[in-house]
Amino acid sequence: MLSNINPFVSYMYQRLGKYSVIGLSLTFCGLLLFGFNFTYQLKKLAILKIELAEITHKKNLSVRQLESNGPENFYGILNFPKKSELHNVIEFIHVSAQQNNLFVDNVDYKFTELPSIHMVSYEVTLPISGKYLDVRAFISQLSKKYAGVILQNVELSRENSQVNNLDGFLQLNIYVNN
């Protein structure tokens, strides 16, 4: 059998032995399988990149379409509280002010209906008294809890420079879905 093979191969077979040749053959087969698997994975990765590009393109188109459809679709996607939850939002404002050691007196409310975007706006004017850091904490707590509470205006003043307390007004707009 070995007489028909190349003389170099028969010499190496005699020199290395049967098990070494089998080991080299298995190693060669393993490298071939690895190469085929590697090329398969590269093709699969290329397909996934194409699919990702298509998804990104569709997402960009949907964002452009949303921008072109106007404000009613944009505001509809945002997570504003419902009109029935307005009492909870106002109660949270008062509780949060108390938790942050702010004194709130004579709160003024103003109602505005926004039919073009199917929402209702409540303008809340809070006369407050307290420390500056407490006012900052109060505003931060409101903005984190409710997306529909927007700080419209802040007026703060300090009558006496010896005292650390501030007096002022916070004007908030509360937007709720109709």
pLDDT digits (tens, 9 = 90+) for 22-39: 888 889 989 888 888 888
Please check whether residue 172 lies inside any domain of the structure: yes
Position 4, amino acid = N
User: Does residue 171 share a domain with residue 101?
Assistant: yes
- Long-range contact pairs involving 95-98 (C-beta distance under 8 Å, separation at least 24): 96/138, 96/141, 96/142, 96/145, 97/126, 97/128, 97/138
Confidence of residue 64 (pLDDT cuts 50, 70, 90): low
Please check whether residue 78 lies inside any domain of the structure: no
User: Quick one: average pLDDT of 163-171?
Assistant: 87
User: Does residue 38 share a domain with residue 89?
Assistant: no
What integer pLDDT is reported at residue 171 of this predicted model?
A: 92
Please check whether residue 70 lies inside any domain of the structure: no
More reliable by pLDDT, 135 or 160: 135
What is the separation of C-alpha 163 from the centre of its chain, rounded to a whole number of angstroms?
A: 42
User: Quick one: average pLDDT of 82-111?
Assistant: 86
User: Quick one: average pLDDT of 111-140?
Assistant: 87
Placement of tokens 């290395």 in the chain = 16
Task: Give the C-alpha separation, 125 to 95, whole Å.
Answer: 16
User: Quick one: average pLDDT of 144-153?
Assistant: 84
Task: Quote the mean pLDDT of the chain.
Answer: 80
User: Does residue 155 share a domain with residue 104?
Assistant: yes
- Structural domain that includes position 98: 83-177
What integer pLDDT is reported at residue 61 of this predicted model?
A: 57
**Domain CATH for 123:** 3.30.70.60
- What total of structural domains would you count in the chain? 2
Take residue 38 and report the two structure tokens written for it.
């590697």
